[in-house]
Amino acid sequence: MDLKSLKQRFDIIGNTPGLNRALDIACQVAPTDLSVLITGESGVGKEVFPQIIHQFSSRKHGSYIAVNCGAIPEGTIDSELFGHEKGSFTGAHDMRKGYFEVADGGTIFLDEVAELPLSTQVRLLRVLESGEFFKVGSSKAQKTNVRVIAATNVNTMQAVQNGRFREDLYYRLNTVPIIIPSLRERKDDIVLLFRKFAADFAERYRMPVVNLTPEAQEILKNYYWHGNIRQLKNVTEQLSVIEKERVIPPEILTAYLPHYSSSSLPVLYETSAESKSSTSEREILYNILFDLRNDMNSLKQVVHELSQNRQQTNAPININHANHVQHSIPENITDTEEVEEDNLSLEDHEKFLIRKALEKNDGNRKLAAEEIGISTRTLYRKLREYDII
- The rounded percent of the chain whose pLDDT value lies above 70 is 78
289 and 218 in a common domain: no
Confidence of residue 307 (pLDDT cuts 50, 70, 90): low
pLDDT at 262: 45
For the chain, how many structural domains are there in total?
3
pLDDT of 89 above 60: yes
Q: What is the mean pLDDT of residues 310-334?
A: 47
Mean pLDDT of 109-137: 95
- The C-alpha atoms of residue 286 and residue 289 are separated, in whole angstroms, by 5
**275 found inside a domain:** no
Q: Indicate if 245 and 339 belong to the same structural domain.
A: no
Q: 226: how many CB neighbours lie within 10 A of its CB?
A: 20
At residue 60, does pLDDT exceed 90? yes
Backbone angles phi, psi at 20, to 5 degrees: -60, -40
pLDDT score, position 54: 98
Ranking 59-73, 101-115, 116-130, 354-368 by mean pLDDT, the lowest is 354-368
Predicted confidence at residue 366, as pLDDT, reads 82
pLDDT band at 130 (very low <50, low <70, confident <90, very high): very high
Among 337, 352, 346, 341, smallest CA distance to 304 is for 337
Confidence of residue 337 (pLDDT cuts 50, 70, 90): very low
Query: By C-alpha distance, which of 202, 222, 152, 146 is closest to 180?
Result: 152
Q: CA 260, 264, 268: angle at the middle one, nearest 5?
A: 105
Q: Let me know if residue 242 belongs to a domain.
A: yes
Q: What is the pLDDT of residue 273?
A: 41
**Residue 81 and residue 131 in contact, taking contact as beta carbons nearer than 8 Å:** no
* 191 in the same domain as 175: no
Q: Is residue 42 part of a domain?
A: yes
Compare 105 and 303 and report the one with higher pLDDT: 105
CA–CA separation, 275 and 226 (whole Å): 14
Q: How many residues does the chain have?
A: 389
- Domain residues for 212? 186-262
More confident residue, 193 or 89: 193
For the residues 127-153, what does the mean pLDDT come to?
95
Distance CA 26, CA 56 (A): 9
Select from 218, 235, 262 the last residue of a domain: 262
Q: What is the pLDDT of residue 170?
A: 96
Q: Are residues 17 and 118 in the same domain?
A: yes
pLDDT tens digits for 170-198? 999 999 999 999 999 999 999 999 999 99
Q: Which of 287, 182, 202, 295 is nearest to 246 (CA)?
A: 202
Distance CA 302, CA 224 (A): 33
pLDDT recorded at residue 312: 57
* pLDDT of 329 above 50: no
Pairing of strands 36-39, 176-179: parallel
Report the pLDDT value the prediction gives residue 378, as an integer from 0 to 100. 80
Instruction: Report pLDDT for 46.
Output: 96
- Domain-located, residue 267: no
**What whole-number distance in Å separates Cα of residue 114 and Cα of residue 360?**
27
Query: In terms of domains, do 71 and 194 share one?
Result: no
Is residue 149 domain-shared with residue 193, that is, in the same domain? no
Cβ atoms 283, 346 nearer than 8 A = no
Q: What is the pLDDT of residues 239-277, one digit of tens each?
A: 999 999 999 999 999 999 987 764 444 444 444 444 443
Looking at residue 279, its pLDDT comes to 43
Using an 8 Å Cβ cutoff, are 127 and 87 in contact? no
- Residues 111 and 220 reside in one and the same domain: no
Average pLDDT over all residues of the chain: 83
Answer whether residue 207 shows pLDDT above 50.
yes
The CATH number of residue 135's host domain is 3.40.50.300
Last residue of a domain, one of 262, 292, 319: 262
What is the chain's Cα-based Rg?
Answer: 26
Q: Using the 3D structure, point to which of 179, 201, 227 is the last residue of a domain.
A: 179
Name residue 332's amino acid: N
Burial class of 161 by CB neighbour count within 10 A (0 to 12, 13 to 18, 19+): exposed
Q: For residue 349, is pLDDT > 80?
A: no
Query: 231 and 103, same structural domain?
Result: no
**Mean predicted confidence (pLDDT) in 107-133:** 96
Residue 286, CA distances (Å) to 289, 353, 354, 365, 388 in order:
5, 11, 14, 22, 21
Do 21 and 152 belong together in one domain? Answer: yes
Note whether 118 and 11 are same-domain residues: yes
Q: How far apart are CA 382 and CA 204, in angstroms?
A: 39
pLDDT score at 389? 65
Rounded CA gap, 131 and 123, in Å?
A: 10
Stronger pLDDT, 132 or 346, i.e. the higher one: 132
Assign 294 a pLDDT band (cuts: 50, 70, 90): low
